[in-house]
Amino acid sequence: MLKILHTADIHLGAKFSGLGNKGVSQREQLRATFKNVVATAIDERVNIVLIVGDLFDANQQSQKNIDLVIEQFNLLNQNNIPVSLIPGTHDSLDSSAIYRKVDFEGKCPNLSIFTDENISYKEYPNLDLTVYGKPNLSNRSYISPLKGLKPATSSKFHIAMAHGSFYIPEKIAEDDHVFRLDEVKTSGMDYLALGHWHRVYRCSEKPPAWYSGPPEWIPDQRERGTVLLVSILDSSEVKIDPKMLGLRDYDEVEIDMSEIQDLAKLKARISEGANPNLVKKVTLKGLRDAEFIVNPEELAELREKFFHLNVVDRSHPKLGEVTENEERLIRNRFIKLMKGQIESEEGGERDIAENALQYGIALLDGKEVL
Ligand SMILES: [Mn+2]
């Protein structure tokens, strides 16, 4: 059996400028969680660690982060655990690459960085394993990170690393290092370790191809950080065990303001599940009582209950009832029609209808709104 720790998108050095004074703390947490990833690899006695791009958030890094990576890789070395790594889109192998400035391989004898422009491979004879991969050479590329991938040795186990986007029609930019399902299916690999998407996601069951997501929360991520413990049995059966290592958790909710009558109730709803390690995004929606105006300052005290709280108000004031004898007025006919439209729609369409109602009334009242 072969046991792997698969991680990616650690983004050491990320700025977290949107987090205000918590940014420094989360930057430090990325370092702490990276150490925890290494400690987990040792505890779990994995045979190899795969780092599938974006270990660093940028090619400019503090000496502190460089030293941390060297220290932690050496810790793995002391435990006879090799590391395979590809440069990603944030730490791409361009002319200013951190992997050109710092001789990580010279300082970490257990480390292999894939730097050939095309797919290359590294054999681990004592593990009966070959690992395949290619670096991202820039932030954007039309070339598939799986281009030319096929088994090249007689090893029992073949594993590929790729940092890019899994092709989903009309959802993926074509220059985002795109690879396709048929490339995965015909790769001849036992497992494909993916990076670039910031969530745990399975692209294919056979062969298994998974995104691990980042181990610690970074902006735009909507779940707690995770690594994948991957076991490949001698029968070639693959078991995937996601292990949540991130300290910060993430939650996102929508609150329908038609159900909320006062500030106390709104505060209580926002505070549900509050804890100091939670990043929470709250969107206020729907039609609220016209007299109930939410002042952001009144919600400010709730921030202390969370690691980070972001409240976005997309609610609209409810208008007075429309009576039949007013119906001849264009304005009221419009309101009635739009209310019917709002009732019959859901989700994004409903938002559009609600906005149309507000814009329409403003225009009928002679206001310039667009
Ligand atoms: Mn990336």
Report the DSSP pairing between strands 226-232 and 2-7.
Answer: antiparallel
Q: What is the CA radius of gyration of the chain?
A: 26
Structure-token match 């599940």, residue found: 273
Q: What is the CA(13)–ligand 1 centre distance, in A?
A: 14
Q: State how far the Cα of 4 lies from the Cα of 46, in Å rounded to an integer.
A: 5
- Whether 303 shows a pLDDT value over 60: the answer reads yes
Structure-token match 């205000």, residue found: 20
Q: What is the CA(196)–ligand 1 centre distance, in A?
A: 4
What is the structure's pLDDT at 242? 98
pLDDT band at 359 (very low <50, low <70, confident <90, very high): confident
Burial class for 64, CB neighbours closer than 10 Å (0-12, 13-18, 19+): exposed
What is the structure's pLDDT at 354? 83
Q: What is the CA(135)–ligand 1 centre distance, in A?
A: 11
Stretch(es) of the chain classified as CATH 3.60.21.10: 2-244
Distance between start and end Cα atoms, the chain: 64
Q: Give the model confidence (pLDDT) of 99-127 as tens digits.
A: 999 999 999 999 999 999 999 999 999 99
What is the structure's pLDDT at 189? 98
Q: What is the CA(198)–ligand 1 centre distance, in A?
A: 8
Q: State how far the Cα of 349 lies from the Cα of 173, in Å rounded to an integer.
A: 25
- Whether 322 shows a pLDDT value over 80: the answer reads no
Q: What is the CA(266)–ligand 1 centre distance, in A?
A: 37
Task: Please report, rounded to a whole number, the percentage of residues in the chain having pLDDT higher than 70.
Answer: 96
pLDDT band at 357 (very low <50, low <70, confident <90, very high): confident
Which residue in 239, 171, 161 sits closest to 196, CA to CA?
Answer: 161
- Whether 7 shows a pLDDT value over 90: the answer reads yes
Lowest mean pLDDT among 18-27, 262-271, 360-369: 360-369
Query: Do the Cβ atoms of 318 and 287 come closer than 8 Å?
Result: yes
Query: Do the Cβ atoms of 136 and 106 come closer than 8 Å?
Result: no
Residue 87, C-beta contacts closer than 8 angstroms, at least 6 positions apart: 53, 93, 97, 99, 113, 114, 115, 135, 136, 163
Cis before 169 (ω within 30)? no
pLDDT band at 368 (very low <50, low <70, confident <90, very high): low
pTM comes to: 0.87
Q: Which amino acid is at 61?
A: Q
Lowest mean pLDDT among 205-209, 305-309, 320-324, 350-354: 320-324
Q: State how far the Cα of 360 lies from the Cα of 367, in Å rounded to an integer.
A: 10
**What is the H or E stretch that residue 350 is in?**
helix 347-364
pLDDT band at 328 (very low <50, low <70, confident <90, very high): low
Q: What is the CA(88)–ligand 1 centre distance, in A?
A: 5
Query: Do the Cβ atoms of 7 and 216 come closer than 8 Å?
Result: no
Q: What is the CA(365)–ligand 1 centre distance, in A?
A: 49
Structure-token match 């990325």, residue found: 30
Higher-scoring residue by pLDDT: 36, 170: 36
Q: What is the CA(161)–ligand 1 centre distance, in A?
A: 13
Return the number of other C-beta atoms located less than 10 Å from residue 20's C-beta.
10
Q: What is the CA(11)–ligand 1 centre distance, in A?
A: 9
Q: What is the CA(51)–ligand 1 centre distance, in A?
A: 12
Q: What is the CA(352)–ligand 1 centre distance, in A?
A: 33
Arithmetic mean of pLDDT, 337-346: 87
Query: Do the Cβ atoms of 335 and 363 come closer than 8 Å?
Result: no
Return the number of other C-beta atoms located less than 10 Å from residue 10's C-beta.
29
Q: Give the model confidence (pLDDT) of 210-228 as tens digits.
A: 999 999 999 999 999 999 9
Q: What is the CA(238)–ligand 1 centre distance, in A?
A: 25
What is the structure's pLDDT at 140? 96
User: Which CATH number fits the domain 2-244, given the four candidates 3.30.70.600, 3.40.50.620, 3.30.420.40, 3.60.21.10?
Assistant: 3.60.21.10
What is the structure's pLDDT at 369? 56
Residue 313, C-beta contacts closer than 8 angstroms, at least 6 positions apart: 284, 294, 296
Mean pLDDT computed over every residue of the chain: 93
Q: What is the CA(37)–ligand 1 centre distance, in A?
A: 19
Higher-scoring residue by pLDDT: 329, 259: 259
Q: What is the CA(34)–ligand 1 centre distance, in A?
A: 17
Q: What is the CA(9)–ligand 1 centre distance, in A?
A: 6
Q: State how far the Cα of 6 lies from the Cα of 44, in Å rounded to an integer.
A: 12
Q: Give the model confidence (pLDDT) of 253-278 as tens digits.
A: 999 999 998 999 999 999 999 999 99
Query: Do the Cβ atoms of 13 and 56 come closer than 8 Å?
Result: yes
Arithmetic mean of pLDDT, 296-314: 92
Q: State how far the Cα of 337 lies from the Cα of 356, in Å rounded to an integer.
A: 11
Q: Give the model confidence (pLDDT) of 53-81 as tens digits.
A: 999 999 999 999 999 999 999 999 999 99
Q: What is the CA(201)–ligand 1 centre distance, in A?
A: 15
Arithmetic mean of pLDDT, 176-181: 97
pLDDT band at 320 (very low <50, low <70, confident <90, very high): low
Lowest mean pLDDT among 19-23, 112-116, 170-174, 353-357: 353-357
Within its chain, how far is the Cα of 37 from the centroid? 17
Query: Do the Cβ atoms of 89 and 9 come closer than 8 Å?
Result: no
- Whether 156 shows a pLDDT value over 90: the answer reads yes
